[in-house]
Each structure stands twice: as structure tokens, then as C-alpha cells.
Amino acid sequence: MAIQLSTAVRNARLNAIEATVGPSGKVKILSGSMPANCAASDTGTVLSTIDLPADWMQDAAGGAKTMSGTWKDNSADASGTASYYRVYAADGTTCHLQGSVTATGGGGDMTVDNVVFAVTQEFSITSFSLNDNNA
């Protein structure tokens, strides 16, 4: 039998993620293969590092939490094809989340307006959410 959690508990778990990462975290967009877990070192090339807004996620509701504010880089750091992201604490070294990156509509854990980056290219993260759906 599967454990079922109330919406309030699911929301609290999601809100704890943002609290653990802390305000003003960073998101790195990288090329290459995603590491096995957040404790492993980055792989591939860092295409962009974005400073997240102080309150970077909306409060969880209905077991879901979505990005808050604008997540944008005015000038990409390197050229390459984005394949995964990592969310770090403000120190830029403590990884707390990672997942796939695709273009908008591509079904990735995070979507961007274009996965093929050129140095100095401007780009935006168009969608990012966390879900706790009792599955």
C-alpha cells in the first residue's frame, strides 16, 4: 500500500526545498551528461550561470511549486547545447537540485527558449516547477 500525504504536507515538503537552497540561489545550465546525483561534480561545459531572484519560487499550492520572477541571462558564458541544469545555494558550490533541460514544449524538467547557446547570447528559462503528487 502506498503512503498518501495531505496537500498541506506535500506543500510543506516543496516549500522546504526553497528554504534549504536559500534566497538568491544560482542555476547553472550545462552541456553533456547529467551527473549521477547532486553530490557529484559538474560534467560538461557551464553554458550559463544565473543569479536567481531572492524569492525564486512561488509558495506551493496543490502539491506544486512554480518559478517566481524572471530567470534570464543577458550573456551566455559558452557555446554548446544545453542538456541539464543544477540549482545551487547562493555560494554557487552546494548543489541541491538537478534535472533535464529542453526547449519550450520539449518536456524537460526545466525549459529554455533555445537549447543551442552561443557565447554572449541572451536567453530565458521559460518554465520550471516542482511537484509532489503522492506518486
Quickly count: other Cβ atoms within 10 Å of residue 92's Cβ.
Answer: 12
pTM: 0.92
Mean pLDDT of 15-23: 95
Mean pLDDT of 67-81: 95
Mean pLDDT of 12-40: 96
Under 8 Å between Cβ of 29 and 86: no
Q: Is residue 135's pLDDT more than 90? A: no
pLDDT band at 130 (very low <50, low <70, confident <90, very high): very high
Q: Of all residues in the chain, what percent carry a pLDDT higher than 70?
A: 99
| pLDDT of res. 99 | 98
| pLDDT of res. 134 | 77
